[in-house]
Amino acid sequence: MTDCIFCKIANKEIGKLVYEDDTVVAFDDLNPQAPVHVLVIPKKHIARISDIRDGEDANLVGHIMVVAGKIAAERGIADDGYRVVANCNEGAGQSVWHIHFHLLGGRNLGWPPG
Ligand code: AMP
């Protein structure tokens, strides 16, 4: 999608990646909510969580979880604990229409979230 900001980041037109493989990239959030706040996204444009289909997309999301875990270990937050969260649609706080998984850690994270 030419007008999608996260597609532009995934294509390395803007921003700076902290991780890349064939299907997934990750980058630091512009407005971090914790000492570690990384967004892990598929290169494939999928607008929202509810658009994820079984099969290829489901494998992709599983892979994203593995990547998030690796980044958490690299950033030194794996043992203390971290959160991976994705917001679906406006009511849950989604503001960018390319699925992204927030990896948060480095402080105590309250539950339930707001
Ligand atoms: P959400 O509200 O769940 O859709 O999350 C969108 C996230 O993307 C927010 O945490 C924003 O701070 C972040 N964000 C928006 N634009 C950029 C950007 N250009 N680079 C990095 N993070 C961004």
| 109: its two tokens | 């994270």
List the beta strands (DSSP E) in 1-114.
19-20, 24-28, 36-42, 82-85, 101-105
Residue 110 Cα to ligand 1 midpoint, Å, equals 20
On whether the CB atoms of residues 101 and 72 are closer than 8 A, the answer is no
Q: Residues 9-29: pLDDT tens digits?
A: 999 999 999 999 999 999 999
45 is catalytic: no
Atom of ligand 1 nearest to the CA of 31: 12
pTM listed for this prediction:
0.98
- Across the range 43-62, mean pLDDT stands at 97
Facing residues of 84 across strands?
Answer: 103
Percent of the chain beyond pLDDT 90?
96
Looking at the predicted structure, is the pLDDT value of residue 30 above 80? Answer: yes
List of E strands, 13-98: 19-20, 24-28, 36-42, 82-85
pLDDT of residue 114: 78
Q: Tell me the CATH architecture of domain 5-105.
A: 2-Layer Sandwich (3.30)
10 token code pair: 């995934």
